[in-house]
Amino acid sequence: MIRSTLTAGIRGLLVAGVVGGSALAAMATAQAAPDTGSSTVITVAADCQSYWPSPYQVCGEIKDLYNSLGAAQSALSFPTAAEVTNPDGSKYSTFLGGTIYW
C-alpha cells in the first residue's frame, strides 16, 4: 500500500489516504442510479452532499476539498462513515482511500 498526505490551502485541511480499495466503486458500477422520486434517493442536510451508493454525507469545507480532488472518482473513493466532530471542534470524514481532517 502507498500512503499519501496532502495539505490544502491556509484553512488547515489535511487529506491522508491509502491508495486502493474499491468495494463501493465496484458496487456503484454494478447498480443503476436511483430515479428521481425513488425511495432510495438520499436526502442531505444544507451544505452537505451525498455520493451514491454510499449513504454517508460529506459536508462543509471537507466536501469542498473532496469535490476539488475529484470526489468519488479520486483516490479517496466513497465516504465510509458520517463526519465526526472532535471535542476541540475539528472534524474529519473517512473514505475508502483515506481521511480528510479539518
The residue among 29 and 59 whose pLDDT is bigger is 59
User: Grid coordinates standing for 52?
Assistant: 451514491
Confidence (pLDDT) at 45: 77
Confidence (pLDDT) at 19: 38
Please say if the pLDDT value at position 63 is more than 50. Answer: yes
Segment 76-81 shows an average pLDDT of 96
Determine the Cα–Cα distance for residues 9 and 32; give it in Å rounded to an integer.
36
Exposure string of 61-77, with b = 16+ CB inside 10 Å and e = fewer, is bbbbbbeebebbebbbb
pLDDT tier for residue 69 given thresholds of 50, 70 and 90: very high
Segment 7-35 shows an average pLDDT of 45
Exposure string of 9-29, with b = 16+ CB inside 10 Å and e = fewer, is eeeebbbbbbeebeebbeebe
